[in-house]
Chain A
Amino acid sequence: MSLPLAALSPSSDVVKALYIVAFSLFIYGIRQGTHPTTAKQGNLIAAGGMAVAVATTLALQGIGNWGLIAVGLAVGATVGAVASKRVQMTAMPQMVALYNGVGGGAVALIAWSEFRHDLALGGSIPLDVFIPTLLSMVIGSISFWGSNIAFGKLQGIVSGQPVKLPGQQVLNALLLVGIVAACIVLGIDHDSSPSQALFIAVLIAAALLGNLFVLPIGGADMPVVISLLNAFTGLSAASAGIALDNVALIVAGTLVGSSGTILTLEMATAMNRSVANVLFAGFGALPAGGAAGGGEERPVTSIGAQDAAIKLAYADSVVIVPGYGMAVAQAQHAVKELATALEKRGVEVNYAIHPVAGRMPGHMNVLLAEADVPYEKLREMEDINPEMPQTDVAVVIGANDVTNPAAKNDASSPIAGMPIIEVSEAHQVIVIKRSLSPGFAGIDNDLFYEPNTSMLFADAKQAAADIAGELADL
């Protein structure tokens, strides 16, 4: 029972073959995810791959401690199942952050245990096991704590505003340098019982870094952060796979690393910012040098639900632009009902989805799918922008920065160059918003003051329901 872990894992060809089956099912499952009609089946296929991988591992020679394994599996399965049944669709970003966090935590714990195991065997650890062990411990720990903070921010437990400590960048850099230095020291000692105290110190330093690294990032940048942390956890799992000599872990972890990396880059591109800028700039902390801050009072046109209903009823084409505000107000069903009422009157209704609308990639698509909006009606930014000049009314519901024409017109704006949904090109714009308060970028939205814009100051859900009610009376 005291064989080294790395020698016992995929010992036989049967085990190796089953792991190959498992990761093939992962790849095939993701491949099926490229179309909405096959994606659900793809997810089941990937889950089947996981079942194969777990069953194979349980069948490995020498596995014991069944009681503890059963407890771990039962507790995890119960918590996971109950949480996933109960969670509201609007709370999906924080749910994913939380799942990602526990995954990272599991990696860090396994790395620690692997290290202890190697120490117990005499303390000589080959570098090709020790380096990946250290890597998975550090990245897993950062991912666990970073994800927890992201969860806290999205759930409203931690302030969504960037939280900045004085000298934070320096502190983070020092922590990182310290972690790398300590890992090198551990590595030098790899064949003469490296210090467990130092190992634990690195684990704690990485935890601290995970916290400090996400705290200064604003809520609107969470799509990037969640994607990145997802990639981190994937890579830490792949690294653990190298240490444990387990092919299924290497392939699965790397796949997740790729997916997280692609999404991170895509989100950053959609905001016309570099990933580094998102992570380190503390975007939205200040009203951007006062360039477009408060003070000046500009006139806006304010309308009520009845006026909005009239504008919409006599339009030929309407484009709805949803944003995070729609998620907060849980307005997706009310919005869909409004759209249905308009369609009954012969109005063509489409939805314009900005890549970073919401708090995770594709957040709006999921919410509108929940409300039974057919996915063909959800149009991507590049696709719908050319049609904006022929659109009669654009209705902005809970979106802000992604519609701000300053991104195009004002080179000094903090969001200059960010691709936007060009609602101001539509003949008329109705903005449903609770107040004139700025979005997460902390800047005023020029759209509100354009002559063809009408503001409807209300909660998104209430407003959509009121307009639908007025439509019925017309």
Chain B
Amino acid sequence: MDLLTKITILVLAAFVGFEVISKVPTTLHTPLMSQTNAIHGIVLLGGLIVVGLSNDVLDEVIGTIAIAFGTINVVGGFMVTDRMLGMFVRKPPKKDAAEKDSGS
């Protein structure tokens, strides 16, 4: 891919991001932050490529640490977001209100 194609993708992704994220209500800003935080753990892929293709000891050390860091970011981030969002899920006794909500 040439550089301009990549920059095009980046700019478009930025606009998509602004559109989607500005619709998230304040109530959910902590889980949003924690979820997007988990998503940038995708750099883990870079670590996998570095270690997977390396023959150099120092690169392997650096890369393995990067994989561990990235995985902490991804696994911890998604799990903690899941825990938080579990609290926002409506509890069964409030059924009537939930129906009213989905009807609107």
Contacts and interface: CB of A to CB of B under 8 A. Distances in A.
Interface of A: 1-3, 5, 8-9, 23, 26-27, 29-31, 33-37, 39-40, 42-44, 46-47, 50, 53-54, 57-58, 60, 62-65, 68-69, 71-73, 75-77, 79-81, 83-85, 87, 89, 92, 95-96, 99-100, 102-103, 105-107, 109-110, 112-114, 116-117, 120, 128, 226-227, 230, 233-234, 236-238, 240-242, 244-260, 262-263, 353, 355, 360-363, 365-366, 369-370, 372, 374-376, 378, 380
14 contacts: A33-B24, A36-B89, A39-B85, A43-B81, A79-B72, A85-B83, A92-B84, A109-B63, A109-B65, A226-B33, A241-B6, A245-B6, A258-B13, A361-B26
SS of A interface (majority): helix
Nearest to B86: A40
A113 B9 contact: no
Contact of A37 (B23, B36, B90): B90
A360 B83 CA distance: 17
Contacts of B68: 71-73, 75-76, 79
Interface of B: 1-3, 6-7, 9-10, 13-14, 16-18, 20-56, 58-60, 62-91, 94, 97-98, 101-102
B34 A69 contact: no
Contacts, number: 387
B84 A254 contact: no
Contacts of B6: 241-242, 245, 247, 250
A242 B27 contact: no
SS of B interface (majority): helix
Given A34-B20, A72-B64, 8 more contacts: A36-B88, A37-B98, A76-B72, A80-B73, A103-B41, A109-B66, A257-B17, A262-B22
Contacts of A248: 42, 45
Nearest to B5: A247
B77 to A, nearest CB: 5
Nearest to A246: B45
A109 B47 contact: yes
A46 B80 CA distance: 13
Nearest to B60: A68
B88 A39 contact: yes
Given A50-B38, A80-B79, A258-B14, A72 B33 contact: no
Contacts of A63: 48-49, 52-53
Contacts of B44: 54, 76, 106
A102 B73 contact: yes
A100 B73 CA distance: 7
Contacts of B56: 116-117, 120
B29 A255 contact: no
Given A112-B62, A262-B18, A380-B26, A76 B67 contact: yes
A43 B69 contact: no
Given A5-B53, A57-B45, A365 B26 contact: yes
A116 B59 contact: yes
Contact of A366 (B7, B31, B63, B91): B31
Nearest to A117: B59
B73 to A, nearest CB: 4
Contacts of B25: 34-35
A22 to B, nearest CB: 8
Nearest to A253: B40
Given A47-B38, A103-B37, A65 B88 contact: no
A88 to B, nearest CB: 11
Contacts of B74: 50, 54, 76, 80
B46 to A, nearest CB: 4
A319 B48 CA distance: 51
B33 A102 contact: no
Given A33-B35, A50-B42, A73-B71, A27 B20 contact: yes
Contacts of B58: 116
Contacts of B60: 65, 68
